[in-house]
């Protein structure tokens, strides 16, 4: 009885995001043997190419018919979407180029640092070998 009272008090329409997710998961777990299809996301947004020639689009000027404004607005919306996509693609390409340049620069700096440290180690090794050779000669001379 207590569960029925709780269920009747729960608002099924104004759920928080956590409650919605919980409800969806419970629904999935009820039919555990049924396979779940997860749709793949689209890679790129594709917008139709602009029309070569747009006929009779007077825009929102005086003398335009009542339906022409909607045609003008749809054309304007498509054009702005096309320009936005071009800008986004250009920005993405620029960001990728900057990232590649940064990676190349960091690699070059690392190589320079490594080469410098390698030269120091080699020099230290040579001096150690030379001093070791002179010490051996001194010991054999005695």
CA atoms within 13 A on the CB side of 136: 6
The Cα 139–Cα 128 span in angstroms is 16
DSSP assignment of 101-124? HHHHHHHHHHHHHHHHHHHHHHHH
pLDDT at 117 over 90: yes
The Cα 135–Cα 138 span in angstroms is 5
* Percentage of the chain lying above the pLDDT 70 cut: 77
Enter the tokens of residue 27.
């629904």
Q: How confident is the prediction for the chain on average, in pLDDT?
A: 82
Residue with token string 């005086």: 62
Mean pLDDT of 90-94: 95
Mean pLDDT of 89-99: 96
69-86 per-position pLDDT tens digit: 887 888 889 889 889 989
Q: What are the two backbone dihedrals, phi and then psi, of residue 105, each rounded to the nearest 5 degrees?
A: -65, -45
Q: For residue 64, with 0-12 CB atoms within 10 Å meaning exposed, 13-18 middle and 19 or more buried, which class applies?
A: middle
Q: What is the pLDDT of residue 61?
A: 60
The Cα 80–Cα 86 span in angstroms is 10
DSSP assignment of 27-50? HHHHTTTS----PPPPSS---PPP
4-50 per-position pLDDT tens digit: 555 556 677 788 899 999 998 898 889 888 888 888 887 776 767 76
The Cα 136–Cα 47 span in angstroms is 80
pLDDT at 102 over 70: yes
Q: Could you tell me if 36 and 64 are in contact, meaning their C-beta atoms sit under 8 angstroms apart?
A: no
């Amino acid at each position: 009885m207590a569960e029925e009272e709780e269920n009747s008090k729960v608002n099924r329409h104004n759920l928080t995001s956590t409650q919605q997710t919980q409800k969806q998961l419970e629904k999935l777990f009820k039919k555990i043997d049924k396979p779940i299809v997860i749709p793949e996301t689209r890679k790129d947004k594709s917008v139709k190419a602009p029309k070569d020639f747009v006929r009779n689009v007077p825009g929102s000027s005086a003398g335009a018919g009542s339906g022409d404004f909607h045609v003008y607005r749809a054309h304007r919306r498509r054009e702005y979407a096309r320009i936005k996509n071009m800008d986004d693609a250009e920005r993405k390409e620029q960001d990728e180029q900057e990232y590649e340049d940064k990676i190349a620069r960091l690699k070059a700096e690392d190589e320079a640092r490594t080469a410098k440290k390698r030269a120091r180690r080699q020099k230290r090794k040579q001096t150690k070998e030379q001093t070791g050779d002179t010490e051996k000669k001194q010991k054999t001379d005695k």
